[in-house]
Amino acid sequence: MNLSNTLFVLFCVFTGIFTGTSQEETTEKKLTVDFYLDTYYANVPNGSHDGFRSFTTTSNRNNQIGLNIAQLGAQYESKDVRASLTLHYGDIAKATWSDDFNEVQTATVGLRLFKTLWLDAGFFTTHIGTESFLPKNNWTASTAVATFNEPFYQAGAKLSNQFNENWYAELWVLNGYNQFVDENDELSVGALLTYAFNDRTSITYTNIFGQEATLDDPVSRYRTYHNAYLNTQFSERWWLTAGFDIGSQTNSELETGKTAWMYNALLTAKFQQNNKWSYTSRIELFKDQNGFISGIVPSQLTVDEGLSVYGITLSTEYKPTEYSFLRFEARRLASTNDAQIFEQNTSTSRYEFIINLGIVWDRSWLF
């Protein structure tokens, strides 16, 4: 079955099975404006002062005060139409975003096709990943190595449906893995499926499938990437997030040229002491021995290898107001294969110390 037929079948499933889903009708229009400013100070003992630190999306510059992001967004929604535009600037955008559209985080427009079934198209942030690339959406100032290697952004179209209070799904057609501008003549497809057991616990599965070889690559490189994560609040003060990714790519194993595999996992726990103070710990593992996602990492090893690391993070957050946060964080990353990949390829591990200050504001109008 080719891509066009597959998409047609999936569309029929989406629109046929769930036509009984109801939505409260409204003629009101809503405009929301939001602003996000995030700053930091980061220190890595014996780290370089030149450029960005490797394997992280946030707090990239060493031993100096920096701007993670200055972000301004607007969202419009009516009964049948919605749109969003978000612009951003700062170290996160410079370190992770598309060179072609570096200041554009999202630019989308959507139409309601039927009840809760929507079609949206444009530039999006990724649907893949346990964490967000933005500190405001996470419990920690830093992001896991897995997040650094997952997509950040994507261009395409999605069908989404809130089936009922438990089930939500998205179907995607994309230009590629972490691409605004397509690098070959084939589209990628993806999906997201969330099941909410209740208002405290949910599980989500996401994926993306596509050709990642450029037009001048002599072989095809079909990539599959799967991500699943659990979010739960199991008491009044404890939250837990657990995530796991596994991916493969054809013709990409370094020694044999066969299909290469990678995986990663992370576990994050948060304790909320009161409405102002919370404490978070995270453990993580990332292994992409053939480097088809992480790339080949320079080291003292005589054999080329991709990235293989593990890490632990301890973070404290103070929220003076509902719209602001101050975080103090310590983190250790280390290679799993004794490769000297840190501090100009002289060390097998790295310590990071981060102070992170952010403010988030939004306002909505009905008319």
Q: Evaluate whether residue 3 is within a structural domain.
A: no
Evaluate whether residue 2 is within a structural domain.
no
Q: Out of 22-31, 111-120, 316-325, pick the least confident.
A: 22-31
> Over 80: is that where the pLDDT of 8 sits?
no
**Per-residue b or e along 214-236, where b marks 16 or more CB atoms closer than 10 Å to that residue's CB:** eeeeeeebbbebbbbbbbbeeee
Three-class DSSP category at 93: helix
Token digits for 284? 């993580």
Q: 185 in a domain, yes or no? A: yes
Q: In whole angstroms, how large is the CA radius of gyration of the chain? A: 21
Residue 24 lies in a domain: no
Distance (Å, whole) CA 152 – CA 5: 28
Number of structural domains in the chain? 1
pLDDT tens digits, residue range 147-174? 999 999 999 999 999 999 999 999 999 9
**Residue 218 maps to a domain:** yes
- Residue 26, in any domain of the structure: no
CATH code for the domain in which residue 138 is found:
2.40.160.10
In a domain, 25, yes or no: no
The domain in which residue 320 lies consists of 31-366
pLDDT for the residue 24: 52
283 to 144, 266, 287, 332: CA distances (angstroms): 9, 6, 14, 10
State the DSSP string of 235-255: SSSEEEEEEEEEEEETT--TT
Q: Which of 116, 126, 135 minimizes the C-alpha distance to 56?
A: 135
Residue 48 resides in a domain = yes
176 and 210 Cβ atoms separated by less than 8 Å? yes
pLDDT class of 344 with cuts at 50, 70, 90: confident
pLDDT averaged over the chain? Answer: 93
Tens-digit pLDDT profile for residues 235-261: 999 999 999 999 999 999 999 999 999
**Range from 12-16, 40-44, 112-116, 126-130 carrying the lowest mean pLDDT:** 12-16
